[in-house]
Amino acid sequence: MYLSSEKKKEFFEKFGKNAQDTGTAEGQIALFSYRISHLTEHLKVNRKDYSTQRSLVRLVGKRRNLLDYLKKKDIERYRAIIKELKLRR
């Protein structure tokens, strides 16, 4: 499996308050970004995998909603996560 529980803990440790804090928007955004990049690579090889394509679109929407929430609540946290994950160029 491409995403183990240890890998998830690393994301939440780095972007959240601690490894058990899975509810922070930053941690979830980082996890979604990792999954999005993995699915994007999969779709480059398997162009006709439409169920994965649908999952990718849903994940991008979830990440967008969390980013919008974070932007509305705390613009500094939003800018920090965008910069750290290199989402905007």
Give buried/exposed letters for 10-23 (b at 16+ CB in 10 A, else e).
ebbeebbeeeeeee
Q: Amino acid letter at 44?
A: K
The reply to whether 33 falls in a domain is: yes
User: Would residue 82 count as lying in a domain?
Assistant: yes
In a domain, 63, yes or no: yes
- Per-residue pLDDT at 29 exceeds 90: yes
pLDDT band at 1 (very low <50, low <70, confident <90, very high): low
Q: Tell me, yes or no, whether 20 lies in a domain.
A: no
Asked if residue 85 belongs to a domain, the reply is yes
| Segments forming the whole domain that contains residue 85 | 28-89
| Structural domains in the chain (count) | 1
Query: Which domain CATH number covers 36?
Result: 1.10.287.10
- pLDDT of 7 higher than 80: yes
**Which residues, at least 6 apart from 24, have a Cβ–Cβ distance to it below 8 Å?**
12, 15, 16, 17
Residue 73 resides in a domain: yes
Task: Please determine, for residue 89, whether its predicted confidence score (pLDDT) is greater than 70.
Answer: no
Residue at 55 is within a domain: yes
- Listed in sequence order, the DSSP H helices in 16-86 are 25-45, 50-73, 75-85
In a domain, 61, yes or no: yes
pTM for the predicted model, two decimal places: 0.90
State the burial class of residue 43 (Cβ atoms within 10 Å of its Cβ: 0-12, 13-18, 19+): middle
